Amino acid sequence: MKGNNKMTEELNNQVALVTGGGSGLGRAMAEKFANNGAKVVILGRHEETLKETADTNDNISYVVADLTKDEDIQKVADYVKDNFGQLNILVNNAGWCPIKPISEMEISDYDRAFDVDVRGVVALTIATLPLIKKAKGNIINISSIATQHPGVGFSMYAGAKSAVEQMSKSWALELAPEGVRVNVISPGAIDTNIWYKTDTISKDAEEKNREGAVAGTPLGHIGKPDDIANMALYLASEKGNFITGANYLVDGGMGM
């Protein structure tokens, strides 16, 4: 049985699209939007996790899609158009983070990071922009505190997310006259399974990275996915209707 706990109508009659919605931050944001009245479409490469998220709320549907494939991006845009005819909220959340020093980096690591973290963001935004303009909606791009403090081994991720931040500023200026808002959320260390899905380092190194992130956070603990989801809800709702071109660091003070 699907649950609709703490339902409100803050996003009633709105449509949201969240990439990487099967787990972690994407799932938290999708559920937050759905629980506040939005119809939410999530996308990702793994149907099993997408279905698990969709099963939590009748307002969530999903499309299996790979953001590195143009035909999949068009499939997602067509799904939203055919089923809803509008798009109020686009959250570009999906990303990939290779953790390697440049001395060990392969060009394939660069290709994958920028294909997912940058090209996928651009391609999906272009494909859905007519629907966003129609709704005078808003775009939320998920970056990272790594752009402020890259750290050893994070050059590709920090570089890709820095590109997203700069593009977001330009888009905010370009789209403001049409009533479309563009903002960025930069999470710090958040308690999700991304700590154990880097594919590039050992399990022991992953755990040490997590412990180091806790030690480097002034508040003394890492955040929860809901901390990011709450900020996304604020920016997507009427409460954030005078905010565009901003970058919110939700990081427990790590950016300082």
CA neighbor of 94 nearest in space, from 42, 168, 38, 131: 42
Residue type, 223: G
Helix or strand (DSSP H, E) at 212: helix 203-215
- CA distances for 117 relative to 92, 104, 235, angstroms: 9, 20, 21
Cα distance between residue 137 and residue 156, in whole Å: 30
Cα distance between residue 123 and residue 111, in whole Å: 15
Cα distance between residue 219 and residue 206, in whole Å: 21
157 is catalytic: yes
Cα distance between residue 181 and residue 90, in whole Å: 10
Contact 217, 251 (CB under 8 A): yes
The residue annotated as part of the active site, out of 62, 110, 157, 248, is 157
CA neighbor of 87 nearest in space, from 17, 183, 30, 10: 17
Tokens of 160: 């890709």
Active site residues: 157
